[in-house]
Structure formats: C-alpha cells, structure tokens
Structure 1
Amino acid sequence: MYTREQVARLKEEFWTTFGQYIAPHLSAEGLKVNWVNYKTGLKDVYFRMEADKKKAYIGIEITHADEGIRQLFYEQLQELHLMLAAAMNENWEWEEEYHNEYGQQISRVYIEKSGVNVFNKDTWPDIISFLKPRIIALDEFWSDGKYAFEALR
C-alpha cells in the first residue's frame, strides 16, 4: 500500500512526465496548449484524463449543475457523434447520467484502457500511448465542434 503522500507524488510525477512528453505538440489551430489541463473554452465542458491503479480514462464531461442545461449540452454533443467518432477513429461510451466520485451528476463520453497502473512506472508507456493520440484527436474534433455550442454559451 502507498501512503497518501506517495500516491500524490507518483500521480504528480506521471502527469508531469506526460505533460513534458506531449508539450511539443501544437493544437489543431497551431497554438501551444496545456494538454493536461485542456481548456475547452466552454464553461462546464471538460476534457478529462485520469489514471489509477486499474485503468486509464479520457473523456468529455459536461458538469453543469442544472439538469436541463446539462441535457442540452449532451444533446448537442450527440449531434456531433459521427464527427467525434470519425476524429477518434473509434466509438466511445456515452452516458447521459453518471455520478462522479464527488456524487455530482454529470454527462460524459469516454473511453478507458484497463490493465494499466499509474503506480507502476512500467505501464506508463502504455498509459501515455493510450492518452496522447486521443487528447490530440479530441483537440482536432473540438477545433470545429466547439462552434456547435455557440448558441448555448
């Protein structure tokens, strides 16, 4: 078992390593971007990447507290389903209602990779090779897809 400090240190080390590895890549619009804390420019819409002792996760999360507004955003994202699938070159899981680890109800579109462990540095290359192309593809999708949300701002 790891202490709380060890867990925090290992996760920080992984995300720093990932950030350094992906930093040379510019966004689809040719700009420098903080890939680890990607900003969609849309309140309550996030690109999340996570890694723990069982899996790695990447997804689009809609966290608006108002259920009706969150549903509008989710429906708009569903309109872009084919565009997202084409950008990702794979199908992701869609969940209109999900309770995150804080008990907050959110909507999300995501994909996971099991069998990796962020606390085992030997699996870091697998986690990085899973997350890197997907966050880059999400950015490419978002460079066009974000305009579909302009009316919902």
Structure 2
Amino acid sequence: MYTREQASQLRQAFWTTFGQYIAPHLSAEGLRTNWVNYKTGLPGVAFKMDADKKSASIAIEINHADPELQELFFEQFVALKTLLHETLEEEWEWALHTTDEYGRTVSRIYKEISPVSVFNKDDWPTLISFFKPRIIALDAFWSDAQYSFDALR
C-alpha cells in the first residue's frame, strides 16, 4: 500500500514521463500540444486519460450540466461514429448519461484496458503504448470533426 502522498507522486511521475515521451509529436495541424491536458476548444467536451491501480482509460467526455445539451453533443458524435472508429482503427464503448467519479452525469466515448496499474512502473510501457496512439488519433479526428460542432457552441 502507498500513502496518499506516495500515490500522488507516482501518478505525477507517470504523467510527467508520458508527457515527455509524447511531447516531440506535433498535433495533426502541425502544432505543439499539451497531450496530457488536451484542450478541445469546445466547452463541455474533453479528451481524458486516466490510470489507476487496476485499469486505464481514454475517453471523449461530454460533461455539460444540462442533460439535454449533453445528449445533443453525444448525438453529434454518433453522427461522426464511423469517422471516429476509422481514425482510431478500433471501436470504442459509448455511454450516454453515466456518472463520473464525482457522481456527476456525463456521457463518454471510451476505451479501457485492464489489468494495469499506474503504481507499477513495469506497467508504464503498456500504459504509454495504450495512450499514445489513441490520443494522437483523437487529435487527428478532432482536427476534422470539431467543425461539426460549430452550431452547438
């Protein structure tokens, strides 16, 4: 078992390592980007990567407080589902109106792997290999798809 501080330090060390590893990669538009804290530029829509002691996930998270607005955004992603899956080269899970770790209603399009642990440095190569191609593919998808959301801004 790790203390809360040790766990926090290990998490931070992983994300720092991942950030350094992926930093040389430019975005689909040829720009430097903060891959760990990816900004979609669309309020209420985020690309999130998470790793804990049992699993890891990468997601498109729609977190508007208004469930009807959340559903509109989700439906727009559904309209782009083929493009998304082709860009990712795999299918992801789709969940309309689920809850996040804080009990808030969110909608998610995500991919998960387990068993892996961010606290086991031997798993870090697996985690990096999981996150890297997917966040790069999400960026490539978003560079085209973001304009489909202009009417919802």
TM superposition score normalised by structure 1: 0.99
1:56 matched residue in structure 2 = 56
1:1-150 aligned at under 5 Å gives the runs: 1-150=1-150
Gaps spanning 5+ residues in structure 1: where?
A: none
Q: Please state whether the residue corresponding to 2:106 is helix, strand or coil.
A: strand
2:68, 2:129 → 1: CA distance?
Answer: 36
Shift of 1:70: 0.5
CA distance in 2, matches of 1:60, 1:41: 13
Given residue 58 of structure 1, which amino acid in structure 2 is its aligned partner? I
3-state SS of paired residue (1:59): strand
Quick one: which amino acid aligns to residue 124 of structure 1? Answer: W
Across the two proteins, how many residue pairs are aligned to each other? 153
Report the 3-state secondary structure (helix = DSSP H, G, I; strand = E; otherwise coil) of the residue aligned with 1:118.
coil
| Cα offset, 1:75, TM superposition | 0.4
1:79 alignment partner AA: A
Q: Which runs of 5+ in 2 are unaligned?
A: none
* Contact 2:52/2:119 (<8 A) preserved: yes
**After the TM superposition, which parts of structure 1 deviate over 6 Å for at least 4 consecutive aligned residues?**
none
The AA in structure 2 aligned to 1:10 is L
Q: Are the equivalent residues in 1 in contact too, given 2:46–2:60 (CA < 8 A)?
A: yes
| Cα contact 2:67–2:97 (8 A) shared by 1 | no
Q: Distance in 2 between matches of 1:50 and 1:34?
A: 15
SS at match of 1:72: helix
CA distance in 1, matches of 2:125, 2:86: 25
CA distance in 2, matches of 1:97, 1:113: 21
Helix, strand or coil: the match of 1:48? strand
Q: SS in structure 2 opposite 1:124? A: helix
SS across alignment from 2:15: helix
TM-score (norm 2): 0.99
Query: Aligned residues: percent identity?
Result: 62
**Cα RMSD over matched residues?**
0.4
- SS of the residue 2:69 aligns to: helix
